[in-house]
């Protein structure tokens, strides 16, 4: 019996743990935990009794935890359209069932995670929605895929996730007696999945063997993002779940020191958990030897006690060694040195001294497998010499024999010295590159952490940490990395990409240009990392209307990537698509098609690239439509939709994008409107399910659906949907973003066609003002806004003003692509329509024929742009008193409504 009164902290900590124990087991559990401390046991017992009384009306085991455990046997029952086969497991948020689709849409078995009814249902529901958002954002062959979701009976939400018929990675390795090298290769797959999550700003926070399964075919699958966290919660519209008790959101034996302390978590927290997983794969037992989950005990083991080296843990344990296909002595020797060092670096107590990323940890493991010096060792000269001897054992033996036998000693010694020098230089170069990479990662991580340090009054208040403020702070601090130029370049590129996503292309271009200058100086122009920066800058220059520079950089990035990476790398496919876009914009449709087909061939050779293959197929389909090859266009677009559905069985933005491309094509041809409408609706439903209503991409799809409704005569519905899209975009992207202006122009079209010409003209003028202010008045997007204004002016009879705007547009396009470019001539066709109404028939005729010459060079008569020109010419010849010519061109125009084309 203790002579001291128990502290309030000890009472509350023990009470909190007791809530996780079944009520009927609490008394025995508490007695054992208190270890004879009667005062502590009495205080906690009183709290538990009061708690039980307060919860009796709900008949629940614990406040803030599950109240309805769903103990009923659900076998044979349904959750939405899924028939339950059996229970797979239970967790803090719900129950997971093995199920299959009951309506016959597909036959595969799935895992259905059903949220439990709960006293703190609001918090659990937020966490459940956050898990759905996180899974929807991840697409990786080693991460279990989100397939579906819905609401079951009783208004309980559920997720449908890929069913992984596998076992925990540690069990799989032991069952198959996998050697150390094979275990390390599996571990690298785990690192790849975690790295993908980190690249999508997701921390897993619960990495452990039970959440890493291996299938019968040996494929790793990372599961359970139930307590994962978005590094930037502003990227989702789901409110961040409230963290009530740190110990309820982690598995103590697999927690990092900062997780136990309740500190902020970063990607290095997951790196620590990966280190624990690696330790267990190698040594056969958990690194943290916990005998209790008591907070004080966990703190002591995880935060204060150094982990025993794996090689020391396996001494004389023949069972562990046998499960690795070796003896204990050989296993100990295998682990001693490099592997001990790799594990130790991953498990350092200080986050800043660990590997900076999962990718760097995997890279060091790869170096070990290849016999190269590992970064974790940062070895001495003797260590590197030892690595040389192991990699060139035969040469070493020969050298020794030569010395002993004194046969040709000088020649052999010189040759071996040369070999050793070359190998030493190669090893030193590899190590130096690795150290540079780690330094770069640590520097960037340090800077990023500094941006989010809101608790320090000198750094700024938490309520000022808006995305815009963080970006400005990042730009202001990036010069602190001047002594580490590669880290600075990495940060500059990251900031540039974010600014580009927010529509600030001027700032984005400046940052990416700075990054490119640094990388060219440090890495050389022929380095693929430099090419990545070139490609990013090229895309920004396209958006800024600097098409020549876009063309030059895109082609240079393609050349570098092909030379450095070969023709089977996904980066090469990305560059081919970018160069194809350049050719398409320049109306070189044949080259655009050729580049796109090359990129698709690269994608088809790759593994796990279905999402990008779907996008490239859809782009190829668009190019073929532009050439008037409608049957081929439709075939490619339908394959794009099929590939996207295969890659993403659940609602996903890429699936929606493919459906939209096909819908656009079908809606432009006779008999295709019904299927097109169903595809538009499905795409909108997919985007809403994947991203939510309050997302910029959902708004973009809303706009496209609205335009479809307008084409089908449903002007009121169209206007309402486009206004809603505009509101979302202004809120999420900001009022000056280019996409906001484009949606305004779509709204103006609907208003004008609905008879609200004055309001439409005001909307068009507002859009032009915004584009001019953000991108300049010589940008092609500004010209697009002027075209809408010109059409409105012509519609109300202000023909001179309309003609003046068309001439200004011609100047903009001619300065960008040249006076003979097809797009320039198409704008001249718009001017021709105005001139025809001014009865300047000859001038109009010349402009129309120039436009036709340009269009016929790149596309077929069936293309809508050609038919629009034919329709304009029919109107011209009818007004000019040439009915026969008018009839000819009216027939060629087909079903184009002249009122929708020219004012």
**Hey, how many other C-beta atoms are within 10 angstroms of the C-beta on 615?**
19
Binding residues: 113
Contacts of 371 (CB under 8 A, 6+ apart): 387, 390, 391
How far apart are the C-alpha atoms of 180 and 281, rounded to whole Å? 8
3-state secondary structure of 337: coil
Closest among 511, 506, 553 to 531, alpha carbons compared: 553
Provide the token pair at 684: 């909108």
Q: From residue 781, how far is each of 553, 669, 739, 772 by CA, in Å?
A: 21, 27, 10, 9
Go through 22-57 and write b for each residue having 16 or more CB atoms within 10 A of its CB, e for each that does not: eeeebeeebeebbeebeebbebbbebbeebeeebee
Catalytic hit among 16, 17, 148, 206: 206
Cα within 13 Å of Cα(685), Cβ side: 10
Q: Which two tokens stand for residue 146?
A: 């989100």
Q: C-alpha dihedral over 287, 289, 293, 295, to 10 degrees?
A: -80
DSSP symbols for 28-51 = HHHHHHHTT-HHHHHHHHHHHHHH
Instruction: Give the integer Cα–Cα distance in Å for 108 and 89.
Output: 19
What size, in residues, is the chain? 903
Instruction: Please answer whether residues 858 and 876 qualify as being in contact, where contact means their C-beta atoms are separated by less than 8 angstroms.
Output: no
What H or E segment, with its residue span, contains residue 8?
helix 8-18
* Measured distance CA(763)–CA(788) in Å, rounded: 10
The per-residue DSSP string of 261-314 comes to HTPPP-HHHHHHHHHHHHHHHHHSS-SS--S---HHHHHIIIIISPPPPHHHHT
Q: Specify binding-site residues for ATP.
A: 113
**Quick check: 330 and 320 in contact, CB under 8 A?**
no
* Six-digit token string for 78: 């349904």
Quick check: is 206 catalytic?
Answer: yes
The residues carrying an active-site annotation are 206
């Amino acid at each position: 019996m203790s002579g001291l009164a128990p502290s309030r902290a000890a009472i509350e900590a023990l009470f909190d743990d007791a809530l996780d124990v079944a009520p009927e087991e609490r008394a025995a559990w508490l007695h054992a935990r208190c270890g004879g401390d009667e005062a502590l046991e009495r205080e906690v017992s009183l709290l538990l009794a009061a708690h039980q009384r307060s919860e009796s009306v709900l008949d629940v085991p614990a406040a803030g935890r599950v109240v309805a455990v769903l103990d009923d046997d659900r076998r044979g029952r349904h959750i939405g359209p899924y028939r339950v086969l059996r229970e797979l497991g239970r967790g803090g948020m719900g129950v997971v069932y093995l199920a299959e689709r009951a309506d016959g849409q597909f036959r595969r078995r799935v895992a259905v995670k059903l949220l439990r009814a709960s006293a703190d249902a609001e918090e659990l529901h937020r966490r459940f929605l956050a898990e759905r958002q996180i899974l929807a954002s991840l697409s990786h062959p080693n991460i279990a895929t989100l397939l579906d979701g819905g609401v079951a009976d009783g208004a309980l939400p559920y997720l449908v996730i890929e069913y992984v018929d596998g076992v925990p990675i540690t069990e799989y390795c032991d069952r198959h007696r996998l050697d150390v090298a094979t275990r390390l290769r599996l571990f690298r797959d785990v690192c790849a999945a975690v790295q993908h999550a980190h690249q999508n700003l997701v921390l897993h926070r619960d990495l452990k063997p039970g959440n890493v399964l291996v299938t019968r075919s040996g494929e790793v699958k990372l599961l359970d993002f139930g307590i994962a966290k978005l590094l930037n919660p502003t990227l989702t519209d789901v409110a961040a779940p409230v963290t009530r008790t740190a110990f309820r959101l982690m598995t103590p034996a697999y927690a990092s020191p900062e997780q136990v302390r309740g500190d902020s978590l970063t990607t290095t927290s997951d790196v620590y958990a990966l280190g624990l997983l690696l330790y267990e794969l190698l040594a056969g037992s958990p690194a943290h030897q916990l005998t209790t989950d008591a907070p004080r005990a966990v703190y002591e083991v995880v935060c204060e006690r150094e982990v025993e080296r794996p090689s020391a843990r396996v001494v004389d344990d023949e069972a562990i060694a046998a499960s690795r296909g070796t003896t204990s002595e050989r296993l100990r020797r295998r682990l001693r040195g490099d592997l001990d060092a790799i594990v130790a670096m991953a498990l350092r107590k200080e986050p800043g001294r660990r590997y900076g990323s999962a990718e760097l940890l995997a890279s060091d493991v790869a170096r070990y497998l290849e016999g190269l010096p590992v970064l974790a060792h940062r070895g001495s000269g003797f260590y590197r010499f030892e690595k040389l001897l192991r990699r060139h054992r035969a040469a070493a033996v020969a050298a020794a024999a030569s010395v002993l036998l004194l046969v040709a000693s000088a020649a052999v010694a010189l040759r071996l010295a040369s070999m050793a020098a070359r190998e030493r230089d190669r090893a030193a170069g590899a190590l130096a590159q690795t150290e540079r990479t780690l330094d770069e990662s640590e520097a960037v991580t340090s800077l990023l952490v500094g941006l989010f340090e809101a608790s320090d009054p000198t750094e700024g208040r938490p309520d000022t940490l808006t995305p815009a403020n963080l970006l400005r702070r990042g730009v202001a601090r990036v010069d602190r990395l001047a002594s580490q130029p590669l880290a600075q370049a990495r940060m500059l590129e990251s900031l540039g990409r974010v600014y580009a996503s927010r529509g600030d292309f001027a700032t984005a271009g400046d940052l990416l240009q700075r990054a490119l200058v640094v990388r060219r100086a440090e890495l050389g122009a022929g380095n693929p990392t430099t090419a990545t920066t070139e490609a990013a800058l090229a895309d920004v220059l396209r958006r800024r209307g600097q098409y020549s520079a876009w063309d030059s950089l895109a082609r240079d990035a393609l050349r570098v990537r092909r030379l450095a990476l070969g023709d089977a790398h996904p980066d090469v496919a990305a560059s081919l698509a970018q160069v194809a876009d350049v050719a398409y914009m320049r109306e070189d449709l044949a080259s655009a098609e050729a580049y796109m087909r090359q990129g698709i061939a690269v994608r088809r050779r790759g593994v796990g690239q279905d999402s990008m293959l779907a996008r490239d197929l859809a782009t190829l389909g668009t190019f073929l439509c532009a050439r008037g090859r409608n049957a081929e266009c439709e075939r490619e677009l339908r394959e794009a939709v099929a590939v996207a559905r295969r890659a993403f069985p659940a609602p996903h933005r890429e699936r929606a994008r493919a459906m939209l491309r096909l819908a656009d094509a079908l809606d432009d041809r006779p008999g295709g409107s019904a299927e097109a409408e169903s595809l538009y609706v499905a795409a909108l439903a997919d985007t809403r399910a994947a991203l939510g209503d309050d997302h910029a991409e959902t708004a973009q799809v809303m706009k496209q659906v609205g335009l479809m409704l307008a084409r089908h005569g449903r002007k009121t519905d169209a206007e309402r949907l486009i206004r809603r899209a505009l509101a979302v975009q202004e809120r999420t992207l900001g009022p000056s973003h280019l996409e906001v202006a484009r949606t305004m122009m779509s709204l103006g079209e609907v208003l004008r066609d609905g008879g609200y010409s004055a309001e439409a003209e005001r909307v068009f003028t507002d859009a032009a003002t915004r584009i001019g202010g953000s991108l300049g008045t010589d940008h092609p997007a500004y010209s697009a806004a002027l075209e809408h204004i010109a059409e409105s002016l012509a519609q109300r009879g202000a023909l001179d003003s309309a003609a003046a705007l068309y001439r200004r547009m011609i100047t903009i396009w001619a300065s960008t692509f040249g006076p003979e470019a097809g797009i320039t001539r198409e704008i001249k066709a718009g001017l021709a329509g105005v001139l025809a109404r001014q009865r300047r028939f000859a001038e109009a005729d010349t402009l129309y024929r120039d436009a036709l010459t340009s269009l016929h060079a790149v596309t077929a008569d069936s293309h809508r742009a050609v038919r629009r020109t034919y329709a304009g010419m029919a109107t011209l010849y009818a007004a000019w008193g040439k009915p026969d010519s008018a009839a000819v061109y009216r027939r060629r125009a087909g079903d184009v409504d002249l009122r929708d084309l020219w004012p």
